Structure 1
């Protein structure tokens, strides 16, 4: 059980953009995706602001988002990294396992990664993540570079949808 005592875990800009994109998708009837809250038990609450200042994580969370896109079950996690390399330590074993089990049930699992230094957002299908995880388990390489990703899966900003990941998902499904 982990402890939370920071203002840094309240959500990222990437998640805010994804939440907004998901709302636009819902309004257009394209997808119904929900943000999965991380279950916590509050321990200390600042009575003046009514903010939680100390809490314990109840259990390990699975992924950040789950839902359906045009009848296809999807789940994904949103990640950010400061450099052009992504550390696989950011993908927890229980998250990876959940995504693998999700796909065994006929769903589609993926990561959305924001490479801050490059100002690029990438769709990373579970099949690609498996390659990097297998490499880590066999060779010990604990990260991958932006250049190793399928650059066709870069997520565009389109109109008022900042993280328009449905295009990358559609391309991935047509490539399968």
Structure 2
């Protein structure tokens, strides 16, 4: 079991907490979300220790997670940031394109962002991601600052480890109406 303390995600990662949250949501019958593995081809394998020491990506991946919440298609990516400034180069153009197409098909796309130095989680709506992305493409900042984010979409861990993104999907949907 992952350890938790007030100084952040020590001994675990955001991905671990999202995976545990997804299992919990599935057990409750609330959602079915799967982690999408990044396809790799091993180049070197340490046979004695049975692990890959060198590999390359087979193809460009899309997002980290995909599934359905109460019949609504959902896809999202998870990112960690150790400062108040998040470089947009950490979100790839093919991910933006995939999320944009996903939204056009009636799905919901978003980013879960963990500010590790503040121990704060943020649900970034696709419209907000796109706003910052377009600003950069038009010659503006190639990053966004913590202060620029919508205060209403900061989350708190539930039970010290669960990422309550379902609450924020509902909030996202309410903003779309």
> Cα RMSD between the aligned structures?
1.2
For 1:85, the equivalent position in structure 2 comes to 85
Q: Deviations over 1:71-91 (max 9, x none)?
A: 100000000111011110000
Q: Deviations over 1:36-74 (max 9, x none)?
A: 000001111111111011111000100000000011000
For 2:97, the equivalent position in structure 1 comes to 97
Q: Deviations over 1:127-175 (max 9, x none)?
A: 0011101110113310001111111111222236521111111111112
Q: How many residues align?
A: 165
CA contact (8 A) 1:40 1:56 kept: yes
Structure 1: state its 5+ residue gaps: 1-11
Structure 2: state its 5+ residue gaps: 1-11
CA contact (8 A) 1:80 1:113 kept: yes
CA contact (8 A) 1:154 1:168 kept: no
Q: Structure 1 residue 137 and structure 2 residue 137: aligned?
A: yes
For 2:63, the equivalent position in structure 1 comes to 63
Aligned ranges 1:154-169 → 2 under 5 Å? 154-159=154-159, 161-169=161-169
TM-score calculated relative to the size of structure 1:
0.90
